[in-house]
Amino acid sequence: MTILIQGATLPNGESTDLLIRDGVIAERGSGIAASGAQVIDANGLQALPGLVDLHTHLREPGFEQSETVLTGSRAAAAGGFTAVHAMANTFPVADTAGVVEQVASLGAQHGYVTVRPIGAVTVGLAGERLSEIGAMAQSRAQVRVFSDDGKCVHDPLLMRRALEYVSTFGGVVAQHAQEPRLTEGAQMNEGELSSRLGLAGWPAVAEESIIARDVLLAEHVGARLHICHLSTAGSVEVVRWAKARGIAVTAEVTPHHLLLTEQLVESYDPRFKVNPPLRRDEDVHALRAALADGTIDIVATDHAPHPVETKECAWAEASFGMVGLESALSVVQEAVVDSGQLGWADVARVLSSAPAEIGLLDGYDAAFAVGSPAHVTLYDPSARSDFSTERLRGKGINSPYLGRSLPGRVVATLHGGVPTVLDGELRPAEEVSHG
């Protein structure tokens, strides 16, 4: 397959044509001609390297009523992603080589995105003994990121052993920083608003204390540590201190923590119930500044689909989580690009090259270079529309942005030179499937 992208604007502001042949960038420049090539007019469009999400929940196996690898991959492609990392809280839990190989195989078969499984740190996410970390790392899935996300590895000795083990092959432990005793029954951010609403509070220190402990453990054993969905100004300061000390720590922020605040909980709408919770306006601004200055390394969606019945119910009974793949780029533009805090080169870094580097994912270190894999996202930043369920391509409709005006539109996504989205529409499965 030969594709010619004409007049795209690269992250550095350069306007160029891109000739894609056999899945790689074959030529780059102006006035490229290619007989018989499929032409994509990219004038006025921002070209980005294919987006990489280090934190998604694809739910398969076991929770296919919420999402599957196929439907989650379609949601990812619609959002401009070409690679996603799938968290381990499936059923059975992804704590063995067999489960992670199953997830990786399904992703490869469907073809919409590269699916990299994340292995559980502990057996059954129970926090009692280490999982088959070595077997998962050596499996066909070649797992390099390990996390009990959804639960914190709260035992410090177990966390130390996990860091030591994973460091032997250059992997990383991604920690869900939540001290369980400090968050028992928690429903939202702890503060004046939680007291007024009568909802059990989730204190910032429950996150900050785990991060502080774990960066010291990482320093002690000489391992890499990644902090999932960092959400407070205090957490930013802990990570900033750790990086200044030379500790090998990276951190992510979700799009929703860059834009939404705890004030939305006043509606008691469970779409705004998420773990960690929406925080104060001061936290949101601290997170934006930390992303801009590099203290926070990447944006990751924490895409968490749920069946309708577990979100359209009373707040206390509702599941934690939001879908975020289809809206991520728009929310990042709204929160930090349109404000001038990040440029498109920064977006390419925090949503593509940096998450790929953290997850040890090949093919994203030289975007748009001749000979590099053709993972490309074409995005129209001038578009604007009310976000609706028509934009959602997975099973989950639990988006916090429904009815909200957001900028931008993904026009095309190419995964290894294969169009998965064209003219804003997903391509049929038979056109992208490798199965």
* pLDDT at residue 34, rounded to an integer: 85
Sequence-ordered alpha helix ranges (H) in 188-231: 192-197, 204-221
Q: What is the pTM of this model?
A: 0.97
Kindly state the DSSP code that residue 41 receives in the 8-state scheme.
Answer: E
Could you read off the pLDDT of 204-263 as tens digits, one per residue? 999 999 999 999 999 999 999 999 999 999 999 999 999 999 999 999 999 999 999 999
Identify any residues that bridge with 114 across adjacent strands, giving them in sequence order: 83
Give yes or no for a contact between 322 and 400, defined as CB atoms under 8 angstroms apart. Answer: yes
| Residue ranges of the chain with per-residue pLDDT less than 70 | 435
- Which residue shows structure tokens 């490309």? 376
Check 95, 148, 297, 302 and give the catalytic one: 302
Q: For the chain, what percent of residues have pLDDT higher than 90?
A: 98
Using CA atoms, how far apart are residues 8 and 43, in angstroms rounded to an integer?
A: 6
Domain spans of the chain, in order of start? 2-46+372-426, 50-358
- Nearest Cα neighbor of 171 from 153, 148, 145, 149 is 145
Element (H or E) spanning 225, and its range?
Answer: strand 225-227
Q: Which fold has domain 2-46+372-426?
A: Urease, subunit C; domain 1 (2.30.40)
**Cα(148)–Cα(174) distance, integer angstroms:** 8
- CATH class, 50-358 region: alpha beta
Q: Is 148 a catalytic residue?
A: no
For helices 69-78 and 97-110, what crossing angle results, to 10°? 50
Dist CA 124 CA 302 (whole Å): 20
Which DSSP letter does residue 278 get? Answer: P
Q: Which helix (H) or strand (E) holds 291?
A: helix 281-293
Tell me, rounded to whole angstroms, the distance of Cα 220 from its chain centroid.
Answer: 28
